[in-house]
Structures are given as C-alpha cells and as structure tokens.
Structure 1
C-alpha cells in the first residue's frame, strides 16, 4: 500500500478542469497505529469486534468525526489548521494521539477521507478515497433532488455539492452470505444523515446501486441519492427541468500504478436508460417510495415564453480580478420586475456571502413594461466580493417577477486560486538535501499577511515555514532546503486573505 496518493477535489463546472492534491497517508508510521488503537479503545470495541472488518470499517466512519472537527462555515476563531492547509494524515493523527484524544481542528470532506484512508490501511484494510462530482444531497429521502422547490412557503434543503469525497474499502461481506457483494465497499466519514442514531455510513456495496439487488446493510439510500438521484429544477412549485444524468456525473479515484485519475462512474450507473429506469423502479419499491415521482410518470409543465432572461459572463476568473456580468430581459405581455443577486458559494453549494448593489436596487423598483426589453452590465471585483472567504464558485442569479410568477436563470463562475510554482534546483545525493524554489504572485491590491508555507514529503514530517508579508501584485520567491531523496512533495501557502491550491504530485527533475 502506497504511503502517498492524490485526493481529487473541485472541478470547473464548465472548464471541466480537475484539481488534485497530493496526500501523504504514512500508514506505516508507528504513531499512526498508536493513534488508531487509542481511538478504538475510546470506543470500547471488543477484540471480537476488532476482528471483523465490517464492524471496524463502520466504526471508523464515526470515529473520524471525533478525531477531526468539521468546519464548513469558515469560522476559524479557535486555534487550528484550516482544511485547505493539511497535506497528510500523519500530523492529524499524531496531534490527536499526543493530546490525549483532543479533537483536531479543522476539516472538510477530503480531509476526513484522507485520514480515514490512513486509518484503514494502518490496520490492514485496503482503502482509497473516491470523489463524486455533482454529489446529490437529498434531505427528504425521496431519492430526488428538488432544487429550489417551495412548499408551504418553505424552500427545499436539497442541493447538489460541487463534489464530495468518501472512501472505498476492499473486503469480503461474510455477513451478507452472498459473494456477489464482496469487493469494494462504500464508507463515508461525513454523511448527511444519521444511521442508527449516529453520523456513520457503510460499508455498503456499490454493486447494489447498479445491479438493483438490495440488502439492508448499510445505508444504501444515502449512497444511491449521492450518485443516481434525479435532478428536478423548480420554479416555485412547478417543475421546469428534469436531468437524470446530472447527479453523480463523474466519479473518480487515483489509478493503480499511476498518478492520474481513473473514472469509476460506470460501476455505479447503468449506461442503458431502460436498465436505469428499471433500477429506479426497483429501488423505489424497495424503499416504499411514491411511484408517481418515477421518470415515466412525471410530466413537465410547459412554460410560456412571454418573459425571458439571459446571463452572459466569463466561465472562470482568477481570485482578485474584475469581471463583468451582462443581464438582458425581454417582456412581451405583462409588466414585471427584474432582480439580480450575486452569491459566493462553497463546494457544498452553500451561500457564504451575498451582495445587492445599488444599481440592482434601482432595477427592482422599476418595472419592465409590456413590450419592453431591459439590459444591464454589472462590474464585480472578486477581491471586494470574496474578501476573507474561500469560495469555489460565484453564482449569478437573475429573476423576473410577474403576477406571482418567477422566471429564474443562474450561472456559475469558477474561482481559481493563485498559482503556486515549485521547482527543484539542486539535489545533493550525499547529504540528500533537496533545494526547492517556490514562487507565488499576489494578485490583490493589498498585502498578504500572516503567510506560511505547509510542506511535506514521504520521509519528511509536515512542517511550516513562516513568510513575510507579500506586497500587492508582487511575485514572491523563496528557496527552501529539505532533507529527502523523494520526488514527491506537497506544498501550499496560506494567508489571512487567501489560501493557495495545494500543489498536486510533482516529479521534480534534478
């Protein structure tokens, strides 16, 4: 089992560019195993239970939530490490162990998955992280993502995350008495729903999702909703769009023997639409769900085209840059109002900032009369808008309101982090000292403050290098020497104002 791998994180919605981060598992470090055994002791697992990989792997999905503290609202007020700054599992598990079991701050789904991979491998369970793009989060349990649905004045909580990272473990399922379910099992350290009263998920065989042969262990509904739910887009309580392929449209992991991604999507989803529909009928029957929501029974309600709205903008921007949003609206039969809002959103599809500019407030007050067209151009400075936030996308939402009816258009704009550069200038084979040159350009009109580099390699513990404040629009360079013969190095820079994307795996040339 390799001690280094890649966690695949966000991907551009339109550019389809996938961002991977080098992650050091270091499952053979003795302190890692000590930490895992300590956590098992804290759960009071008997030796008989510890001999069962099904029970152990399930318990780990609960335990990792006690080892790490999740933080998705960017409220980093207490001392800790931001999720984006972690480079591997060893530092997390050692901090947990040497603190006597204190929860380690902070984490998000990929950090939980990286730590879980290490925990599983340390006790001999083969494991790997898996990333699902457009992961469905179904709050009401109907296996349908009801986007923007309003019932009795309340908006549905269903959403689609940009991505979600969970784990697979390889094992025999002797508890199911059917060898068909042996092999890769799905487990999740950050599930949306409780299972048996606890936030734990799995192990469940992904073969159930594709083949339509169901057993009760464990949490099949959670897995199916993440990878194979239908996506229903609403205008109030009226369905305007159904997409059966959007949720779980790409599922990947690191390829065996390579540092490139490999697609696993076909293992979860039937390619044939007839088989897909037959599977949906089976699973709706299995969970005793309302068959009227099946694809073949549901009809889209036609919408008149008397009012229309369109958004034009770039598909992606670099953090700190300005960009324009152009919104045009047409009204044929009735007076209506136009509203434009701009939101910064996390990978969990959550709004973390909202801006309503004076120019839009004027448009809200003025109606667009019958037969008129209206257009406006809004200039957004991403630095002013996202200051102090780490957003993966900016969402533009334009709406026309007429006689209680709302027509909505949205557009997602990807936010790219500042580019970090890493080169190996020199390697001394005798001393095994590797000289690195690191460079980053500050794209902002202000200083970057409280900056530090997080560096880790296969045989080098994660360590922090303090950096002086970086001037506005300045290209900062720094030479760092580390003792390692490995060409696998992970690096990121975090400041109060920004966090760089961690570098993916680099094979440095001497």
Structure 2
C-alpha cells in the first residue's frame, strides 16, 4: 500500500482543525478519524512488540485502564503553569457544552500526575519509569526525548536540562507523582508512557497514555531562554495579555488601533504550532527548543512569500476586492481561523496586521512579544545603511525628486515586533562580554530576503542601538529603519551625482508600543521606546553609531566624505499635528537667515500628495501652491510662507488609509561669497477619524444578556452610505458586516448590540463601523463577566 503523502496528512489535519470551530459533536467525530488515520503534530515512535501472555504478568504492577489510570490534574497543573486560559484546557465551551480538556504546561517547571494501579504501589518492590517523546525521531536527542526512573525517597533533585520525577504521596492504589520538564526541551505536542517493573518478575508493562499534551516556553523560569519575569511588566503584559494596541498615524500624533490577539481562543494554540512546524522536519525538530530559531520561523510563516504557504498575503495596492482590506482586521483569531479553514493565505495584510498575528503566535507558545511602531521608518534597498534620495532641477532651478532613481523610501510608519530571549548564539562568537540578551526585533512583513527567505530577525536591540550591523540577524536592515541618515544627491546632466544635503533626524521617530497595563484607550499611556533602539539625535554616541553602521554596510556609499558648507538659512515646515477628517489644515514654511549677510529666496512651492503609509506617493497631487516672488532675507528675521489645504480639496483624492505627504521646496540664490542653498522639507500625516463611543455595563452575569450602545457623529458634509457595523473580542462570537441605515451629513449614528457569554473573566470588545464615504471606524469597551 502506498504511503500517505504529506499533502494528504496536511489536508486531514486541516480538516481536524476546522472541526474545532463547529461544536463538540463534530469535533468528537473528527478526533476519532484523526486517531485512526493521521499521526499527531509530532508523531510517536511505537515499538509494536508482541504482548506478553497474562500468565507471564501475574504479580506485575499494572496501570488501571478503566476508568483511565492516569489523571493529568489539568485544572491544578494549568493554574500553576499560567495556562488555564487556553480554550483547549476548558471542560465547557461558551454555551455550556461539555469539552474534553487537554493539558498545557511550560518547560522548566514541575507538574503532577496521578497514577492508579490494580493494587497498591510497593516502594520496595515496584519501580515506575516515565518516558516522554516528541517528533518522529523523539529518541534521538535530549531536546525531544526524556526517560527517567521515579525517585521514591528523599528530596527531589532536578537538573535544568534533564527530565526527572519523584513520588509525592500514596493513597491506596493511587500515587501522586511530580514530573520536572527540562527548561531546554523542544516545545510542541508530547506523548508519554509509564512502564512498571516489579522485582522477581521478568516482564514489565508499558502503559501509553492515549492523549498527548503541550509543552510551551516558560518566561517565568530563570533557566528558560525566554525568561522575562517582571522585567518591564513582564509576563502579565507580554505573555498573558490577549488584547492590546498597535500604533499608526504619525510621529506627531500616534494613533492607537485596538487589536484582539486572542492567543487563548479556540484552536489558536494548535494553529500556532502547526504553522511553526511547517519549517521543521524530523531531523531539525530538536531546534524547537531554541527561541531564536522559533522566532525567526514565526516571522517567516506569518507571511506567504515563500514555499511554506504562510498565513497572510500582503497588499499595498489599495485594491482589496477579492479579499478583506487590511484596515478591516481588528484581531488575529478571525485571520488564523480563516487560514485554517481554507488552507490558503488570507487576503490581505499590511504591517500592523502581520505584527498583530505575530504577537498572537508568539504569546500563544509562551514567547514574550509586543507590537512596535516606528514612525519615519526607512527602507534601505541597496544595503548602504543610508537612505538615498535623488533630485534633478526643473526649469526654474528648483530641485524636484527624480522618480527614476529613488528606490529607497521612508514609510509613514512601520510595525514589527520585539520578542524577549537570551542570545547564546552570539555569546558563542563574542564571548562572555556579550550584552545582547533581552528584547530582539523580528519582522514578518515581507520586505527583503534574509538568508534566502522573507523573514527578519531576531536582532538584539542593543546591537541596533550601537550600529553593530554585522550582528545576526538583519541588524543592518533594522538599523537603517530606525537610524539611517537621509542623503540627498543631485543628479547632474551627465548622470553623475553630488551630495547636496544630509538629514540626520528624519528617520526613526516616536518608536511606540502599548504601555504595560490596561489598554491605552482606557488610560494607560503609549510607551516610547525610541531610547532603547537609538541614542538621542545629535549626541556623540548617535553619530558614532551611524558612522559605525556606514563602515560595516554591505555596500557603503561615499556619503560622509568632505566637510561641506553649512547652510545659512534655516527652514521649518509646520502644520497642526492632529487634523481630523473633514477639517481644513494650515501649512507654513518658516525661513530664518542665520548669516550676517542678506540672502535672497527665489520662491516657495508647496505640494500635497496622497500617500500610502509605506512611502509611495501618488502621481496626482492633491494641491500645488506656488509663491513665485523673490524675498529678501535679512539676518535673524523669521519669514513665513503659508497655504491652506481645504477638506474639499483632499477628501475626493485620499484613500481609506487617510495618509498625505506634505512637501515644501525653496531655493536660496547664490551670492558672490555663498553657494546656492536648496530647501527640501516634507512631512507625512494621517488624518484622524471619529472614535466610536461605547456605552456598556462594567460587569455582567455569566449567560445573561447585556446591551452595548455604539454612537458617533458623522464629521463629513456628505451622507454616509453602504453602512455596516459589527464587533469582535475574546469570549464572544464575532459579528461582522451587519447592514445599517445611512447616516446623514453631520448626523448621529446609534446602534445597540445585545451580547452574552458563558465564559467568566475580563473581556475587551472592539466595535466597528464602515461606510462607502468613511472607512473603518472603531472603539472598544470592557466588561467583567461574573458567575
């Protein structure tokens, strides 16, 4: 008979995962089918030896089979291991149906197992041997296999890298054992068996437990490479918090977007392990013990650009008709479930979506993680560790961007992740003086290949800060994102280039993450982590880091040679930081002549373009405003040049992202003693949109209905049409796309949702509104569900 193909196995397993979302009856049928046809995530090695005759086993201690002789103490163990929130550990679903709970534990910690025999356990005559395995080659390496004899007397002694166990107490035919999981074992799904041996008997009996259990990373354990403890809010925020914020907007006004990470929801842990396993085979599965490798794999499989058939399909075109707009996602579970149901990458994601899903996968397996937003995020395409912008002169002599030469870009913002771990792989190269443990940057958004695949990191933040761009992984790329200088080059008629300007403070601003504690929308402030990624701009340490990076770049450019002449005229581009959709905006350019001599300004040009947040401007301008007359600039006097951008000008031309790029150009004429000076200033801005107001009770009774009222006022002078509303959140079944009545111009929208849940706990719900004219509004509310 031909062997079952990997594709068939995957299809069967996907079918099994699908059944997780359709109720316990269907699930039970699929579980039985899976047991008959398909190995587990990590198939067991079974030695099918002939069973001994019953006469040969007289007197041998036997594990009781009916009822099951092994109790995994799921409720007690999961509470001690901080895993009791996982859906698979529950014995009841949201509507009260009975479930079969599974054990989830963390490495570097003990858990209890009760074993019941056919007679009392005799310490003097009986021995008990435990064996744990994961993977098809589970007995080949210590990371995937453990075997030990139960310690029956004395104080338990455990080594951090070895399995062990001891007898806690005995009650009749039942014993309570404590099993230690090594802090260095592979994460994933493990099987185990118990073998009994009795003195005076030649035979032994092996009892293989029918249900596997899960082992995860343990950030509470000092021997685990993911140990974070209470550092910066530690486990409570970066492992257990299942809701949070990702930041968008601009450096001047970061805007939080609610996100449901949902790492404990139904099927998410199983899905997380499945997608990670795509990148491992029988010979490499031992590397699931290494969080460095696992984090790198997660950043690879969240996107679908390689052959691993990852979770999300990226799209920055603005056309999402055959999928879902990235702005319409407010959480990871809906994305992951859709992926598991279809077996195909979900359309579509952009950076904050990739980051949100990455946070979910990381926290699900016990890897501390947070979503991080870098404003003014550079994309260095030629590995120079500089962001190079090229300009040509128009007929008036004013510099304008050379669209044929500009490949590097600066995104309005870019969202990636930090994960927390030690870096013994770097210490092995650098020695004990290594200081690269702690937060590491990873990025699942596909931008550039890293060692042949679309992934990025993990890279120590300390290496990024110091410009040590040769450190693994991808330090040069991430350094450029947060700290590269923007170099301006003029393309001469003969095709050669000369350096005309350098901007050292444009890249890497207001690097933001959700602060520890309650969500920012409920009072917890944004945490600015810029100082962890880079030295303060203008300091000596900052310049040393930039020059160190430039020297270590794969393809450095001669951007730092020569002294150059200091500019006489200081320009500043200014506008309001927080501009809401439908409001006019005043823009001004100020000029101050810092020299002792008069200078002459030859006109000012303002340009405003629609812009994708990833740095690409539309070819069609929203507004071009020219001030053509010359202005004499006397020393130390400030001059202002203004224009007003009206809402009627930008509303028809911006997309659902509400991003614009504001540019100002000016030319200071050459004098006998001073060279010509060019002004090139630009800012990115995201227009604000109304936040939904949510009124709902602070507490509710389990299984009883309560009402959430959603309201907002239409800020536009147009009626809102094709309106829909919905909500999603942990503990509640998502409701999406419910049709709503049109909202009049300047009118009020109101919608009442009736909700209930069978689960107890603290829950965050995100409510959504969408229309043809006003896209993707949201707001959140919290409720504590009590018994």
Q: Which residue of structure 1 lines up, in the alignment, with residue 316 of structure 2? A: 72
1:121 is the counterpart of 2:363: yes
CA distance in 1, matches of 2:632, 2:372: 52
**Deviation, structure 1 residue 163:** 1.8
**Deviation, structure 1 residue 441:** 1.6
Counterpart contact for 1:85–1:454, Cα < 8 Å? no
**Deviation, structure 1 residue 252:** 2.7
Q: Which residue of structure 2 lines up, in the alignment, with residue 57 of structure 1? A: 295
Q: Which residue of structure 2 lines up, in the alignment, with residue 109 of structure 1? A: 351
1:444 is the counterpart of 2:720: no
- Matched residue SS, 1:20: strand
CA distance in 2, matches of 1:427, 1:383: 46
Structure 2: state its 5+ residue gaps. Answer: 1-238, 305-310, 393-400, 492-496, 593-597, 634-638, 671-675
Which one has a larger percent strand, Structure 1 or Structure 2? 1
**Deviation, structure 1 residue 429:** 2.4
CA distance in 1, matches of 2:541, 2:654: 47
2:687 to 412, 415, 433: 415
Q: What do you get for the CA RMSD once the two structures are aligned?
A: 3.9
CA distance in 2, matches of 1:215, 1:338: 43
Counterpart contact for 1:344–1:391, Cα < 8 Å? no
Q: Which moved more, 1:60-69 or 1:163-172?
A: 163-172
2:412 to 162, 170, 180: 162
Counterpart contact for 1:68–1:105, Cα < 8 Å? yes
CA distance in 1, matches of 2:783, 2:501: 45
- Matched residue SS, 1:155: coil
Q: Which residue of structure 2 lines up, in the alignment, with residue 463 of structure 1? A: 735
Name the CA shift for 1:248/1:327 in 2 (closer, same or farther; >3 Å).
closer
CA distance in 2, matches of 1:258, 1:121: 17
Pairs aligned (count):
496
- Matched residue SS, 2:457: coil
Q: TM-score by structure 1 length? A: 0.83
Counterpart contact for 1:314–1:413, Cα < 8 Å? no
Name the CA shift for 1:413/1:481 in 2 (closer, same or farther; >3 Å).
same
Q: Which residue of structure 2 lines up, in the alignment, with residue 263 of structure 1? A: 528
**Deviation, structure 1 residue 389:** 0.9
The one-character-per-residue Cα deviations of 1:32-90 (angstroms, maximum 9, x if unpaired) are 12323432454454423433322222122121112111122211121x32212212111
Q: Which residue of structure 2 lines up, in the alignment, with residue 194 of structure 1? A: 449
Q: Which moved more, 1:482-491 or 1:416-425?
A: 482-491
Q: Which residue of structure 1 lines up, in the alignment, with residue 552 of structure 2? A: 286
The one-character-per-residue Cα deviations of 1:103-157 (angstroms, maximum 9, x if unpaired) are 1112111110110111122223222212222222222221122345469884322
CA distance in 1, matches of 2:534, 2:472: 20
Counterpart contact for 1:420–1:439, Cα < 8 Å? yes
Name the CA shift for 1:444/1:383 in 2 (closer, same or farther; >3 Å).
farther
**Deviation, structure 1 residue 244:** 2.9
- Matched residue SS, 1:181: coil
CA distance in 2, matches of 1:266, 1:467: 46
Q: Which moved more, 1:276-285 or 1:455-464?
A: 276-285
Q: TM-score by structure 2 length? A: 0.56
- Matched residue SS, 1:125: coil
CA distance in 1, matches of 2:508, 2:666: 31
Q: Which moved more, 1:58-67 or 1:414-423?
A: 414-423
Counterpart contact for 2:584–2:644, Cα < 8 Å? no
Q: Which residue of structure 2 lines up, in the alignment, with residue 10 of structure 1? A: 248
CA distance in 2, matches of 1:494, 1:211: 44
CA distance in 2, matches of 1:480, 1:76: 28
CA distance in 1, matches of 2:277, 2:631: 72
- Matched residue SS, 1:180: coil
1:341 to 602, 607, 610: 607
Q: Which moved more, 1:414-423 or 1:394-403?
A: 394-403
CA distance in 1, matches of 2:547, 2:679: 32
CA distance in 2, matches of 1:429, 1:173: 47
Name the CA shift for 1:75/1:433 in 2 (closer, same or farther; >3 Å).
same
Name the CA shift for 1:200/1:312 in 2 (closer, same or farther; >3 Å).
closer
Q: Which moved more, 1:55-64 or 1:495-504?
A: 495-504
Counterpart contact for 1:317–1:416, Cα < 8 Å? yes
- After superposition, where does 1:225-304 map in structure 2 within 5 Å? 225-233=480-488, 241-259=501-519, 260=524, 261-271=526-536, 273-287=539-553, 290=556, 292-294=558-560, 297-302=561-566
CA distance in 1, matches of 2:346, 2:376: 28
Q: Which residue of structure 2 lines up, in the alignment, with residue 476 of structure 1? A: 749
CA distance in 1, matches of 2:542, 2:662: 33
- After superposition, where does 1:373-384 map in structure 2 within 5 Å? 380-382=646-648
